[in-house]
Amino acid sequence: MLLGYLASGWAAEASSPAEAEFPILDRSRAMVHDFTEGVARHVDGWFGDKPFEQGGMVSGSIGFKFLGRQHESPDASFRFGAKLDMPNVKEKTYLFFGQENERELLTDQPEPFTRRELLLPEDRREDQTLFAGIGYALRDNIDFRAGLRSGIKPYAQARYRKGWVLGERNRVDFRETLFWNRKDGVGSTTLLSFGHGFSRSLAFRWSLAGTISDETDGLAWSNSMGIFKTFGDQRSLSLEALIGGTTAGSDNVSETGVRTIWRQPVYRDWTLVEVSLGHFWPQGDAKDENRRGWALGVGFEILF
């Protein structure tokens, strides 16, 4: 099945000598997990007396990424997110909170096309926001989310996901998010992805995403096409061609590029490192030889 070909192998454990090298990481991760679980237990207690151990669970991640583009100043970004499943709340209801790029949070931008993965710098004061909200899974492939971001600004999303397995080696995935917020009004983000597995460790994937809203003049779109290779023990390598733009400008294409990403664990199976190298060419109205060049990103992620 294609899911096997595209999987990264999240079950590897580091050797015991490495486990003793960084006790501060173990303590820090435990502190974050215990704090998040404490919040979940406290909030869950508002809704009933059922013990948290009977179905309660918290999960999340903390991520740092350092990046630099040629002709631009180096930059760093921070991401934090947590999901809280609580037994006293209805079975399919959950809470979530964290810190994220505001625009990407509101529009539910697919991860491969975020500024972070495209190695683009962002203003932490203007671009990032704290958020919290509640979600409800109507079915396995439909869920609704409503929340607040910095400044007590509301937003809401309805998400639909569907996948089709075509034979033993092909898979098509579709995701549609309808969203609302005061800045954009009503809008939608669509993601369509096709994957073909050459073997259990080598696959081809093509993805196309587009976002439109009441406040935009056209469709902002992104396209990627690439090869993905896994090596076991959560190690993976990808090489992609990228192109993006908007239908509102005089030229639909604003940038093309190539990107390669290497991922692997560096301490146990919950501390991951990602190294990204890319080269980008602005096009159309954005074409500027001074913005053409290389980009490098180094990211660290701790799962809890």
Question: How do 93-101 and 128-139 pair as beta strands?
Answer: antiparallel
Q: What is the pLDDT along the chain (304 residues), one digit of tens a residue?
A: 443 434 433 333 333 344 446 788 899 899 999 999 999 999 898 888 889 998 899 999 999 999 988 888 888 888 999 999 999 887 789 999 999 999 999 999 999 999 989 988 877 777 899 999 999 998 889 999 999 998 789 999 999 999 999 999 999 999 999 999 998 899 999 999 999 999 999 999 999 999 999 988 889 999 999 999 999 888 999 999 999 999 876 678 989 999 999 999 998 889 999 999 999 998 876 566 556 789 999 999 999 9
Domain holding 240, by residue range, is 2-303
Q: What is the pLDDT of residue 157?
A: 98
Q: What is the pLDDT of residue 160?
A: 98
CATH number of the CATH domain containing 139:
2.40.160.40
Residue position matching structure tokens 């080696």: 169
Q: What is the pLDDT of residue 57?
A: 92
SS (H, E, C) the chain: CHHHHHCCCCCCCCCHHHHCCCHHHHHHHHHHHHHHHHHHHHHHCCCCCCCCCCCCEEEEEEEEEEEEECCCCCEEEEEEEEEEECCCCCCCEEEEEEEEEHHHHHHCCCHHHCCCCCCCCCCHHHHEEEEEEEEEEEECCEEEEEEEECCCEEEEEEEEEEEEEECCCEEEEEEEEEEEECCCEEEEEEEEEEEEECCCCEEEEEEEEEEEECCCCCCEEEEEEEEEEEEECCEEEEEEEEEEEECCCCCCEEEEEEEEEEEEEEECCCEEEEEEEEEEEECHHHCCHHHCEEEEEEEEEEEC
* The token pair that represents 300 in the structure block: 């660290």
What is the tally of structural domains in the chain?
1
Instruction: Report d(CA 209, CA 249) in Å as an integer.
Output: 18
Q: What is the pLDDT of residue 2?
A: 43
Q: What is the pLDDT of residue 106?
A: 94
Q: What is the pLDDT of residue 169?
A: 95
Q: Are 74 and 294 in contact (CB under 8 A)?
A: no
Q: Are 130 and 153 in contact (CB under 8 A)?
A: no
* The token pair that represents 143 in the structure block: 């869920």
- The single-letter code of the amino acid at 31 is M
Q: What is the reported pTM?
A: 0.82
Residues in the chain, overall count: 304
Instruction: Report d(CA 173, CA 203) in Å as an integer.
Output: 15
Other C-beta atoms closer than 10 Å to the C-beta of 112 total 20
* The token pair that represents 100 in the structure block: 């994220």
Instruction: Report d(CA 153, CA 184) in Å as an integer.
Output: 12
Instruction: Report d(CA 192, CA 209) in Å as an integer.
Output: 6
CA neighbours within 13 Å on the CB side: how many for 60? 28
